[in-house]
Amino acid sequence: MHRKPLLDLLARYLELHPREAATVERIRSFVQEHEDCLLRRCVPGHITASAWILSADRAEFLLGHHRKLGRWLQLGGHVDGEPHVERAALREAQEESGMRDFDLVLTDGHVVPLDLDVHPIPPHGSEPDHFHYDVRFLLIAHPNQPLRVSSESKALRWFPMTHPLTEVSLARLAEKATRVEPSR
């Protein structure tokens, strides 16, 4: 399994966010130590990809009410072996929103994550507790696309950018997205 594209993404992210060196190093070390980090079967945890989705006019953001966790979250999921995790984030956004057309926001012409997050996942069924090493990207949805709720969510909803977010991880995504100038 080729991990170089992910390690390159992490290096570019660190250049832009040197204050987040501890998180970058935690994920980088995990990727280097676990050849199967891109697969769900990696027991201590695995790489996931998610998308902070903004409306075409950047006035709203999209969240899904997660079926298993019972919380409003950004759309995303397992990368299923995809070494270019931005592709997994786009796939998950399409599958979970029903929308097809997005622009991946680039930084200086390069794919760079909007955010990184490591969070614990409680045991579920035969899956033990583990960590998700989430690589998050900023997507802009093309206008006039209908939403379709997938089996992953109970609901989908556009929220105005002024909507207060109490979950630290979501608030961080929203704040970072306001500082990014899209270059598509």
Q: Is the pLDDT of residue 125 over 90?
A: no
Superfamily of domain 4-178: Nucleoside Triphosphate Pyrophosphohydrolase (3.90.79.10)
**pLDDT recorded at residue 184:** 46
Per the prediction, the chain carries an average pLDDT of: 94
Q: What is the pLDDT of residue 127?
A: 86
Judge whether residue 182 has pLDDT over 60. no
Report the C-alpha dihedral over residues 122, 4, 110, 92, rounded to 10 degrees: -40
The stretch 101-122 carries a mean pLDDT of: 95
Nearest to 55 by CA among 141, 153, 122: 141
pLDDT for residue 183: 55
